Structure 1
Amino acid sequence: MPTDRVDLPEFRRLTWRDVDPATRPHIGSAELTKLVRSLPPAAEVPPAGTDWRLADLWWDRMTEALVERLGEWVVGWQHTVVMEDYPGRGVIPIWWSVELPITTPDETLDRLAEAVMAWHELTVELATDARGRFAAAAPPTTDGTGDPVAWRAVKAPGISRSDPGRFTSTIPYPRNLSWADVDPRGRDFDPATVAAAVAELVTAGNIPAQEADWRLRDLWLESVSIGFAERYGLWAVGWRWSVGEGDLDGGPVGHWCCFSHSVTTPEATAAAVGAALIEWRDWLEDIAERFDRFLPLAVDDLDGWERAVAHLVTAVGDRTQYDSGWYGCCTTVLGWFLEAAGIAPGRREELLDHAIGGRFASWVEPDRKTVASVAELLAGQVAGA
């Protein structure tokens, strides 16, 4: 799979002049199918089950080849329009992403040709609104462009939908780990083994170039996390939870930021990755030690709960520097504390929502009164007061 970036015209920026079927030669289904099969990327259809990032990149390469042959209008094959009763807006046109599965090469290419033809036919319909689906949803006034009423109708809502189910990861986001997943006690870890583990995962031959497509960079980062998880356990995937606006935003790790800033030479990159893993482990051990200062706690020990919560909020804030998204890490650590204290899973999220409820914000260190209020609320909820 080539590592070069694929730059496609932005669908949302297309004008009627870009998609008007009257401005392009007619193409029939058989001719379009033949064209799709002749494009260079058509010889490299990924196998079924390919990671969604590699599959997406291949679809983009096919679209890029289609744009070169047919024009910018063709990027619209990835979209269709349906009429939906949208809350507060009535029945309006909504753009939906077209999701095509990768199966056999023949089926995959045929489906792509069908999707391109469906988009062409939709533009033909938009030229006249022959089926009367869209005109009623058009803005009440014209915009002076002379665009068809149906086109103005489908562009006006600016609402689109897609199926997030395909954007899956084989590893969890650190915020979704439980304390049982990350508790360092009983999990042996020798920092001296990290350099060797990293050397197997981070090599000059497998690091994508800085200019590589973001999906290839993301896949590489995930492969490192998978390697760590297989070697050390699931807890290790938190090595990328960086301070501020890094890869995962709002975490406690300072040795890693993100691909664009932390990936340099292979040697320096390997050193940064290894240091980040060790730092993450040190943070978990620090948290465990802090938990031990307060636990066990009786549910009616309001003073004890208040001291523990205030202490943990401050500890997380100091570590994350109260930077972008720091409150996410704070909520996670408090959730871990509730878990370690034996609070039932079903209650934890409710307790945290009630206690924090928007009181923390990015780049803002809460004053002592706010921290005390959160601690008091959470303690009171735990005690059932």
Structure 2
Amino acid sequence: MTDRVEIRELWRLTWRDVDPAARPAFDPAGVAEVVRSLPPAAEVPQPGADQWLVDFWYDRMTEALVGHLGDWVVGWWYTLAMEDFQDRGVIPVWRGHRPPVTTPDQTLTRIAEAVVAWHELLVELATDARGRFAAAASPAADGTGEPPAWRAVQGRGRVSVYPAFRERPLPHPWELSWADAETLDGVFDPDTVPVVVSGLVAASQPPSAQADWRLRELWLESISAGLVERYGRWAVGWRWSVGEGDLDGGPVGSWCCLSHSAETPEATAAGIAAALVEWREWLDDLAERFDRFLPLPADDVDGWERAVAHLVTAVGDRTQYESGWYDCCKTVLGWLLEAAGIEPERRKDLLEHAVSGRFASWVEPARAVVESVAEDLARRVAVDHA
């Protein structure tokens, strides 16, 4: 199976690319046979397969369709209508929706039907026979030959709507509670980690560094799932790398991403094992830092200021103030508030008012800024208590 696809975006196509007049031999009755003849048609995912795997398979089918029918077919999974959309008035709304995967025969039939419907839509756009689109067209550019309806639906006023992906089965590290992060399911022995990780890596061949991002993410999630099963939810943080790595803005320096951290299976396993141990050491370090300040009375403003300033600096040093470091900072401060017994909704409000917008990627904040954040958060905690 191929591990990557190359497809032109619909929005980069010109009318010349999609004009149905350029394919007079197109036969809608033969589309079903074409669809079933494509190599990916023999590999329809099972119902209930991971959404990223299904999405990648549909891209493979689209790439194969383009190879057989031409670039115009990339839009097969879109529908189009002029709608009164939110507060923007009546505009062209493109809705991208891939058919649900059921049986292979049903799935391939739906694709064929969608390809024919897309062709029919382009025929309509050529003449605007139903009068649905042309009235919204911008003035024609000299020499383009674009029909008014095409200009109308491809203009700046259009909007594209896609179904949301379902939530992934594993949380991002910033979604962990402090209870998740500090809790060990049994004894954690760093010396045993390389053996555990080597077993997980050996069970599933790592994708190449150039593989489609969905295949890389699925493999990394499988490793995370194995670590969580073995050690607990806290283990998902092994990928929270410093800078613009897998999860962006974290404290882990032993792992970046598959493209930079994965070489041989042995080296990949060694990197993952080191990252997991480093992440656990960071959590244990935070626990020790929390113990220096907690319990902390809510009205002890000076104590809260010292704790917050200390943790902001500790996170900054660990993340090197790289891309997105402030998300790790907010997470750690949220954990401190949780450990201090402050309720979840109030923690969110406190962090939003005191921290959001105060820090930036690749910038070590001035000491005065850190002190201002610490003072603001401390005073808000005290006001809550009062």
Is the structural similarity TM-score above 0.5? yes
Q: Which moved more, 1:20-29 or 1:286-295?
A: 20-29
Residues paired across the two proteins, number: 382
Encode CA deviations 1:200-236: one digit per residue, 9 max, x unaligned.
Answer: 1113961112232222111111110001000000100
Residue 142 in structure 1 maps to residue 140 in structure 2:
yes
What letter is aligned with 1:78?
W
Q: Alignment partner of 2:202: what SS?
A: coil
Q: Which moved more, 1:155-164 or 1:114-123?
A: 155-164
Query: Aligned residue for 1:350?
Result: 349
> Following superposition of structure 1 onto structure 2, how do residues 293-308 of structure 1 map, counting pairs within 5 Å?
293-308=292-307
Encode CA deviations 1:96-117: one digit per residue, 9 max, x unaligned.
Answer: 2123110011110111011111
Distance 1:357 1:68 in 2: 48
- Contact 2:97 / 2:163 at 8 angstroms: preserved in 1? no
CA deviation after TM superposition for structure 1 residue 237, in Å: 0.5
Residue 201 in structure 1 maps to residue 205 in structure 2:
no
Q: Which moved more, 1:116-125 or 1:185-194?
A: 185-194
Encode CA deviations 1:347-375: one digit per residue, 9 max, x unaligned.
Answer: 11111110013010000111111111111
> Following superposition of structure 1 onto structure 2, how do residues 62-81 of structure 1 map, counting pairs within 5 Å?
62-81=61-80
- Contact 1:184 / 1:285 at 8 angstroms: preserved in 2? no
- Contact 1:229 / 1:235 at 8 angstroms: preserved in 2? yes
- Contact 1:182 / 1:234 at 8 angstroms: preserved in 2? yes
Distance 1:87 1:32 in 2: 36
Distance 1:3 1:21 in 2: 30
Query: Aligned residue for 1:319?
Result: 318
- Contact 2:51 / 2:165 at 8 angstroms: preserved in 1? no
Encode CA deviations 1:309-360: one digit per residue, 9 max, x unaligned.
Answer: 1111111011000000000000111111111111111111111110013010
TM-score (norm 1): 0.95
Distance 1:195 1:330 in 2: 29
Query: Aligned residue for 1:106?
Result: 105
Distance 1:295 1:67 in 2: 62
Query: Aligned residue for 2:15?
Result: 16
What letter is aligned with 1:162?
Y
Query: Aligned residue for 2:159?
Result: 159
Query: Aligned residue for 2:29?
Result: 30
- Contact 1:41 / 1:62 at 8 angstroms: preserved in 2? yes
> Following superposition of structure 1 onto structure 2, how do residues 217-236 of structure 1 map, counting pairs within 5 Å?
217-236=216-235
Q: Which moved more, 1:350-359 or 1:154-163?
A: 154-163
TM-score (norm 2): 0.95
What letter is aligned with 1:352?
L
Encode CA deviations 1:50-96: one digit per residue, 9 max, x unaligned.
Answer: 11222122212211221121111001112222333345642111222
Distance 1:185 1:112 in 2: 48
Q: Alignment partner of 1:164: what SS?
A: coil
Distance 2:102 2:54 in 1: 11
Q: Alignment partner of 2:313: what SS?
A: helix
Gapped runs of 5+ residues in structure 1?
none
Residue 210 in structure 1 maps to residue 209 in structure 2:
yes
CA deviation after TM superposition for structure 1 residue 26, in Å: 5.0
Query: Aligned residue for 1:338?
Result: 337
CA deviation after TM superposition for structure 1 residue 159, in Å: 2.9
What letter is aligned with 1:336?
W
Gapped runs of 5+ residues in structure 2?
none
> Following superposition of structure 1 onto structure 2, how do residues 162-311 of structure 1 map, counting pairs within 5 Å?
162-166=162-166, 168-184=167-183, 188-203=187-202, 206-311=205-310
Provide the alpha-carbon RMSD of the alignment: 1.7
> Following superposition of structure 1 onto structure 2, how do residues 107-126 of structure 1 map, counting pairs within 5 Å?
107-126=106-125
What letter is aligned with 2:164?
P
1:348 to 1:137, Cα distance in 2 relative to 1, 3 A: farther
Distance 1:122 1:184 in 2: 56
Distance 1:249 1:58 in 2: 27
- Contact 1:184 / 1:284 at 8 angstroms: preserved in 2? no
Q: Which moved more, 1:188-197 or 1:19-28?
A: 19-28
CA deviation after TM superposition for structure 1 residue 266, in Å: 1.6
Distance 2:58 2:360 in 1: 39
